[in-house]
Structure 1
């Protein structure tokens, strides 16, 4: 847990960046959120000429013990492994959007209940063959939780070494919306029933059952720290994303936060190191009903609202061209002075 994350606070640079933005050939504020993003990335990189290098999305996959019973998930657990193969075979939505936007994609086995053996293209970071069922016992022990966080951090170190300075995270794991709902309730203090949504497609009656099951689970545990909450309710993929977010912030990378599951991981990272918020861009509002409440809790406005709830990092991949546009206008758009255009007096 030794992450050294510095707040992005530099009054002089902020003033320089804001002046550069304001003196472009446009009315002040006319590019809206693009201006906010440009300022943030400049502050993260400590320069008035930021750049996005080797953008990468890392998808972490893991299984959840509660999914074995099928009470909270309409899809069987084996879909997790099947989707990992789909990622590796370039067949998923995240593959399409990463290819479209020239984003590197890494797939990680964080703890899938399947033996992949030596599979080309798959990063083996498996902690175990899925977590335990938290209806009976904590999802993982403290050692497994800490190891998952460290492995997530290590994967970011390797990614950063390729020259990457902008990174997003995705996930795959049948049952992980249940885990995210429990973590959301712990970190926001919003009742579990208000955190639970349809996941991969539950109908109204099934959502009520899911709410009842998870409310009962929540009452069985009294975590006293973010690590204890992760161990009780988390998935290996979620814990790895926590470590990945924290290490990315330490390395001063621009972090693209995806939807409901990744934001649940972010809540844990934020509770550990609040400074991590400075480095994160929230790319979209998920169609999963708890995600909007998470963003309201964090007082953050996302870039997009397309009713997406797929996960996989797809929101981050779709939003990346907008982030790229923010950097492009900051670096390439003429100023009133350079263009010989009369500005506001």
Structure 2
């Protein structure tokens, strides 16, 4: 199965439908543009969102790139799975389905903790000492992501969003992004959860050393060498969602690094992305520009991750998806067609 090129010949039909709605032309601005983009990806209203939150630990934390102790990864997974945290709150308020999935956490979860077990390993290796993951492990993580998307589709998801949890994962995300975009490491590396200026310089140095140690730039090798289990799972899941012609609600910095890998694997992939927000993390805007998926819907300076940016944008996406099918037209509403009047005057 491969990703289909979107049929843009249908766009004129949808534009005509939108102009027939009982409102002045172009009066909904970017919301109307979003409606057109969504219709080209998947016709019909979107009412069911599945957020797949993948978790994994990172060996590079040995290099002092974060102040957060690694046990926070598994602790937060338990918190999210039990209904805590921002992602759970946002999902609940949005009536979205949240799944917390362990692909590489350095912890053994018990059944009662409600974390989905897709474990490939107990954290990646330190990528300054060799590849973060073996090729087979990376492919297994990607397949785990694909499988969870299939489950989401089988249970009725109309759109898919991805979240992540993993102490140290902004270091891996920056490394992956730098390798695939050729942007300077300093341009796409931020302080994460509160580094000092000097500590940020150290983090940048660690990533620069890794790029020299791992000079290969094909996407799968980059993912193996510099990524994380959760980044690999998100990459695989995104490819599966795009192959199923579903809109993908793109979250923040770490999830976007996975999208860069998927985009390097398939030329049509980025057309299925709905960029939900511009993260407050250093360099996220430039990563989005490299993807070529358009302007993000929100810019709230969020940098939490967990899929919270996608969840914040979901109400806008859902609204836009209903415009073509559910909004009354001039004729249905028995309202004088002011758009046709403007068209007759050559103003539209």
Q: TM-score, normalised by structure 1?
A: 0.95
DSSP-derived class of the 2:98 partner: strand
Question: Which blocks of at least 5 consecutive residues in structure 1 are unaligned?
Answer: none
Number of the residue aligned with 2:86: 93
Mapped to 2, the partners of 1:342 and 1:138 lie a distance apart of 63
Task: Report if the CA contact (8 A) 2:82-2:113 is conserved.
Answer: no
Number of the residue aligned with 1:105: 98
Which of the residues 124, 128, 133 maps onto 1:140?
133
Number of the residue aligned with 1:326: 320
Number of the residue aligned with 1:40: 37
Number of the residue aligned with 1:179: 172
DSSP-derived class of the 1:231 partner: helix
Mapped to 1, the partners of 2:197 and 2:20 lie a distance apart of 52
Number of the residue aligned with 2:155: 162
DSSP-derived class of the 2:148 partner: helix
Mapped to 2, the partners of 1:200 and 1:92 lie a distance apart of 16
Return the offset for 1:168.
Answer: 0.1
DSSP-derived class of the 2:111 partner: coil
Task: Report if the CA contact (8 A) 2:252-2:309 is conserved.
Answer: yes
Mapped to 2, the partners of 1:57 and 1:161 lie a distance apart of 14
Number of the residue aligned with 1:281: 274
Number of the residue aligned with 2:62: 68
Q: Deviations over 1:168-192 (max 9, x none)?
A: 0000000000000011111111011
Return the offset for 1:68.
Answer: 3.4
Mapped to 1, the partners of 2:5 and 2:262 lie a distance apart of 14
Return the offset for 1:224.
Answer: 3.9
Task: Report if the CA contact (8 A) 1:53-1:163 is conserved.
Answer: no
DSSP-derived class of the 1:38 partner: helix
Return the offset for 1:120.
Answer: 4.5
Instruction: Find out whether 1:262 has 2:255 as its counterpart.
Output: yes
Number of the residue aligned with 1:341: 336
Number of the residue aligned with 1:317: 311
Number of the residue aligned with 1:6: 4
Query: How many positions carry a matched residue from both structures?
Result: 338
Q: Deviations over 1:178-210 (max 9, x none)?
A: 000011111111011211101122122211111
Return the offset for 1:221.
Answer: 0.8
Q: TM-score, normalised by structure 2?
A: 0.94
